[in-house]
Structure formats: structure tokens, C-alpha cells
Amino acid sequence: MSDITEKIYQFPDGFLWGSSTSGPQTEGIVEGDGKGMSNWDYWYSIEPERFYAEIGPENTSTFYKHYKSDIKLLNDTGHTVFRTSIQWSRLIPSGKGNINQEAIQFYREAFSAIKEEGVKLIVNLYHFDLPYCLQELGGWESKEIVYAFEAYAKTCFELFGDLVDSWITFNEPIVPVECGYLGNYHYPCKVDMKAAVQVAYNTQLASSLAVKACHETHSDYKICVVLNLTPAYPRSDSKEDKKAAKIAELFQTKSFLDPSVLGYYPEELISILKEHDLLPQWTPEELDIINDNKVDFLGVNYYQPLRVQAPDEGPKDKLTLESFFAPYDMPGKKINPHRGWEIYEKGIYDIGMNLKENYGNIEWLVTENGMGVEGEEKFRENGFIQDDYRIEFIQDHLIELHRAIQGGSNCKGYMLWTFIDCWSWLNAYKNRYGLIELDLETEERIIKKSGYWFKELSQNNGFRK
């Protein structure tokens, strides 16, 4: 007789189960589809060697061709909610002005099919993909792009609002700032902290204008922003390490969380920016827009913690984030051996408690959590992927999420990244995240063990472990 007693983790009635993906990572490009060039399309055209195996954004998981059969798989994997995005460059190829009629037809048909499956639909307006012609006008450093985004958002609300259950302004807006303006990882690869601050501010203003437009289009429409709320943990209890963690949180988390949910920026962040002559160009009227147009709920992406320590005291040629805090590689941490990222489930509990205690217990969803695996084909047995490691990863995070909900945090759902293995920015298909395997040669979709398990999870609204 076993001494191990399983515990039942039951989630609240109406809790949502599903997954997230994005247009630029799934749709692909089909000749004659009318799509305009995005920043990713352009970057790949000039530096294909920067992309894993030189697989570019035209070769994504062919959702544009296979959406009807793909959507049928939502119920097979237990979805009650599904999140995707509209590609700005597909809908309005030049960023402003003329609308692509083929895009309207595609999105309306895809969104209608999702609704016909009885699945709640959440649609994101921006997932790192800017029409390239707008990048040529200055990209997110320019206020002109802010108002172009507002017009694009209004167009989406008017064209698709009858089909969409709730909206998202931006996915992880800090990522293009960090990767495109503080690091050489996303186009335009411009390492300039002053420009980074302006991009962050303009993105927040655009998000707030989209919230305003959403509510003006229809007072019942609900809209959020999706943030990767990576908790910052200091190396030690020393004053210097704690200060580094606090500043890391100001830059990485609170720079979008506070204005989006509370309507204003943290005074400590403003002081740091002022001290280093990094304040963006702003107006009192713009701050009023941010203050008056807070999100209705919040999407939260969580993969791994941010571990930091005090920065080196040596001279710096250029001001960067590492002037304020340095990464810390914690010995003995739990690792995903197939991806290299730390696994720290308690982070999702800490996020939930932070939102409860410091952000008015705002309603929120886990909009991304997942486990990337390189070389996942080695786990194929009897014709499909036996990804017990992914099931365990989800379970262990759900245990901490359940604990946060029991503690009063207002979480309404859990969405995995991702539905079907998708193309990933610079990594193509190197790391697989899906509940469903994509065969790159045949374009066949094969449900993994985790996909069947996820359906049981959804049907039972919980699990035993």
C-alpha cells in the first residue's frame, strides 16, 4: 500500500483553460494574401543569418492555410479560451490608410470558427510586429506611430468587436524595449537607453489610447495589457543587492504595470530617469490620458524569475540596465534541461499576491506559461510525443497558482504557451512549446500526451497530484 496521498487541486467555477499564440508566429505568408512587410520580414530580408537555421517569418506554422482544421483541435485539447493576435501589417499593409480586404475576411472567418467551437476569444492588437514602413518613420521612438496605433486599434474594434470577447493592447511591451533598444536582439538593434525610455513611454501612451478607443467604441468591451511580470529576487539580503532588485523591478515590471493598472508612474522610477537625464518627451495631457484610461483586467506571462545582484562598480562606457543591476546565476537552481531556463514555480504565487496587495486585487489571467524543449522528437513513442515533463511543469505551476487563488488573488484563468508548435522570433522551431506537435515536412498536427492531459484538466477543472 502506497504512503503517498494525492491532493485534489480544484479551481473556481468558470475558471478558463486554454492557450495563447500570435499572428506573426503562426500565420505565415501566402502569395497574394495582401500582407505588408513587418519589421521582422524586413530584418530577415537583410540579415537571415541572425535567424535560427535561417528560417524566417514567412515559414511559420501555416495557420493562414489550415485555420479551419486547426480550430477544430481546440476542443480536442480542452480549450475554453484561446488567445491570438491580429497582424497590423496584414490588416493595414502600409500601417495607415487602406485596409486589406483579404485580411478582414480571414480574421472574421477564423474568429467566427473559434466562437462556433464555444471557445472564449481574446485578441491581442500587437505582438512585437510593426509595419516596416512605420519603422522607417522612426518606429516607436516617434509619437506619429502612437496615433497610427490608435487608429489601427479603432479599426480592429469596429471590424471585429462583435466576435471578440475581450481585447489586449500589447503583449509584453517591455520586450521590444529591452531587446530592440537595450540589447541587440530585436530590430532595430539600437542600444540607446534614452531611446529605450522614449519607446517605453510611447508604447504605454499608445496602450492607454487603445483602452480609451475600446471603451468609446462599445462601453461593454473589456481590454487589458499582457505583461511579463518577472519577479526580481536579490542574490542576498545585503542593502546593495536589495537595491538592485528594487531597481530591476522598477524598470522591468513597474514601468508598465503601474501606469496600466494605477494610472501613473512610480516616483522612484521618475527620480532615477531624471537623475540620469533619461526622461522622455511628454506632455501633461498625455499623462492625463494614461491616468484616465486604465485597463479592465491584466494578462500575466510567467516563465522564469529574474535573479539579480548589485552591479559592478567599475567605469561604464555607456549607460545600460547593467549600470543599475546585474544578473545573478544562482547555484543549485532548478533547470529545464531542454531549454536552460530556471524553473521557479513560486514566482507565480508571488505575482498573484503582489497584484492582490498592491494593485487593488485586479482581475487577471495567466496568459502565458510553458516549457520549451529542444529536440522534443526524441520523446516520441507510439506515434506521438510523450511529454510527461510538460505535464509536471504545468501541474507544479498550477499548485502555486491554486495557492494564490486560495489566498484571495483574483485569477480567472490559465493559458499555456502554446497551442500548436509555432515559429519563435530568432529561434524558429528550435524549442517546442505546443500541446500539439507540428511536423515541418508534412504540416501534420499531432496531439501530444500533454494535449490529451490538458483536456482532462479542463473537463475536471482541476487535477490530482
Cell of 330: 544562482
List the one residue out of 416, 410, 244, 205 whose CA is nearest residue 323.
Answer: 244
Bridge-based pairing state of the strands 306-309 and 326-327:
antiparallel
CB 337 within 8 A of CB 393: no
Q: Quickly tell me which residue has 546593495 as its cell.
A: 240
Instruction: Spot the catalytic one: 141, 172, 178, 345.
Output: 172
Measured CA distances, 289 to 110, 223, 444 (Å):
33, 16, 47
End-to-end CA separation in angstroms for the chain = 17
| CB-CB contact of 118 with 81 (8 Å) | no
Partners of residue 234 on adjacent β-strands: 308
Say which of 249, 286, 368, 437 is annotated catalytic: 368
- CB-CB neighbours of 33 under 10 Å: 16
CB-based contacts of 4: which residues, under 8 Å, 6+ apart?
A: none
CA separation for the pair 450, 465 (Å, rounded): 15
Which one, of 202, 258, 226, lies nearest residue 85 by Cα?
226
Are 263 and 308 a contacting pair, CB within 8 Å?
Answer: no
Where is 299: in which H helix or E strand?
strand 297-301
Q: What is the DSSP letter of 77?
A: T
Torsion of CA 67, 68, 72, 77, to 10 degrees: 0
Alpha helices in 218-266 (DSSP H): 239-249, 255-257
Nearest alpha carbon to residue 92 among 82, 100, 81: 100
* 141: annotated active-site residue: no
| 368 is an active site residue | yes
CB neighbourhood size of 465 (10 A): 12
Residues designated catalytic:
172, 368
